[in-house]
């Protein structure tokens, strides 16, 4: 039986199929996000259906910026497996990526539990004697510079000793700093935390989760962490779409 002739596609064909500029296709080739491409005698790139499928996945993987280096690396690992034509490995990597996203979500939502506990006025500190910045740095395992940065950014107002003007930290300040630290470690930006504290310090305890995730009108949004929960939920949906795409390919192969 005569071997079927390979159908080649042009750069413009791929670009049109996924709705991007041809130069973007060329960049994906240069960056190694598509399999190696043969060239005709006249120097034109000869793409195949394999390249097109890989490009479709690449657009899913890179349709939006990733919220953090770890999630970017797990997303890219999925695509790199497909570049190697290892679709089974890609499915495994895609599930690992989804797991990483859900782990971030769990961390973010757990931080909100501490916020709720503290916002209700429930105690977090068993002691009453004030501590110095050096003692608080050890207690919370954060540097003194980090504490000063929280103060400069308006996240906390720290009272001073009237005699020597040193910072003094009581249970209220330390409890607030535990919330700041956990929210920061869970991915929330200082802007988001400050937005939430402005509402809370103004006596508004309702819908703190929504406030933390919703920039105010006119507020500049510079990072995904300014609306962290929405970002992670969106990333979870994208991870699901990537998995479905790979499953569809495996079932149709």
Each residue's pLDDT tens digit, 195-217: 999 999 998 888 899 999 988 87
**Given this model, what pLDDT does residue 215 score?**
86
Phi, psi of 40 (to 5 degrees): -75, 170
Question: What's the mean pLDDT in 22-44?
Answer: 92
For residues 31 and 26, give the distance between their C-alpha atoms in angstroms, rounded to a whole number: 9
How far from chain centre, in Å, is Cα 242? 16
Q: Please give the CATH topology (third level) of the domain spanning 1-63.
A: Multidrug-efflux Transporter Regulator; Chain: A; Domain 2 (1.10.1660)
Residue with tokens 């050890």: 138
pLDDT tops 90 at residue 232 = yes
* The pLDDT of residue 243 is above 90: yes
**Which of 156, 159, 177 minimizes the C-alpha distance to 168?**
159
Domains 1-63 and 68-253 share a fold: yes
Per-domain boundaries in the chain: 1-63, 68-253
Q: Pick the closest to residue 10 from 2, 42, 32, 84 (CA basis).
A: 42
d(CA 79, CA 63): 13
Query: What is residue 253's predicted lDDT score, i.e. its pLDDT?
Result: 75
CATH 3.40.190.10 fits 68-253, yes or no: no
State which H helix or E strand residue 185 sits in. helix 171-185
What's residue 221's pLDDT? 67
Positions of E strands within the chain: 38-39, 45-46
Check pLDDT > 90 for residue 9: yes
Residue indicated by tokens 């990483």:
100
Cα(161)–Cα(220) distance, rounded to whole angstroms?
36
- Do the Cβ atoms of 87 and 250 come closer than 8 Å? yes
CB of 181 within 8 A of CB of 118? no
| pLDDT, greater one: 161 or 97 | 97
pLDDT value at position 2?
Answer: 47
Helical packing angle, 11-18 and 22-30, nearest 10°? 110
Residue 225 pLDDT greater than 70, yes or no:
yes
Left, alpha or beta for 43 (phi > 0: left; psi -120 to 50: alpha)?
Answer: left
Distance from chain centroid for Cα 169:
33
pLDDT at 4: 53
> Which tens digits make up the pLDDT trace of 73-114?
999 999 999 999 999 999 999 999 999 999 999 999 999 999
Average pLDDT, the chain: 91
Predicted local distance difference test score (pLDDT) of residue 127: 72
Q: What is the pLDDT of residue 193?
A: 95
| Percentage of residues in the chain having pLDDT higher than 90 | 73
Average of pLDDT values for 40-51? 90
């Amino acid at each position: 039986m005569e071997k079927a002739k390979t159908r080649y596609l042009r750069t413009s064909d791929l670009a049109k199929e996924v709705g991007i500029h041809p130069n973007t296709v060329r960049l994906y080739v240069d960056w190694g996000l598509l399999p190696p491409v043969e060239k005709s005698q006249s120097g034109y790139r000869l793409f195949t259906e394999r390249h097109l499928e890989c490009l479709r996945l690449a657009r899913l993987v890179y349709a939006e910026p990733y919220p953090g280096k770890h999630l970017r690396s797990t997303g890219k690992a999925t695509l790199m497996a497909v570049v190697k034509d290892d679709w089974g490995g890609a499915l495994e990597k895609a599930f690992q990526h989804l797991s990483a996203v859900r782990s971030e979500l769990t961390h973010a939502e757990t931080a909100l539990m501490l916020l709720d506990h503290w916002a209700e006025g429930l105690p977090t500190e068993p002691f009453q004697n004030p501590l110095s910045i050096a003692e608080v740095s050890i207690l919370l395992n954060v540097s003194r510079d980090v504490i000063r940065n929280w103060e400069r950014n308006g996240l906390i107002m720290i009272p001073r000793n009237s005699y020597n003007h040193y910072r003094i930290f009581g249970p209220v300040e330390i409890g607030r700093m535990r919330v700041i630290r956990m929210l920061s470690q869970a991915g929330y930006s200082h802007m988001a935390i400050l937005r939430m504290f402005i509402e809370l310090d103004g006596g508004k305890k309702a819908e703190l989760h929504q406030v933390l995730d919703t920039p105010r009108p006119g507020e500049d949004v510079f990072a995904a962490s300014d609306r962290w929960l929405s970002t992670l939920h969106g990333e979870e949906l994208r991870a699901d779409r990537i998995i479905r795409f790979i499953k569809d390919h495996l079932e149709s192969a």
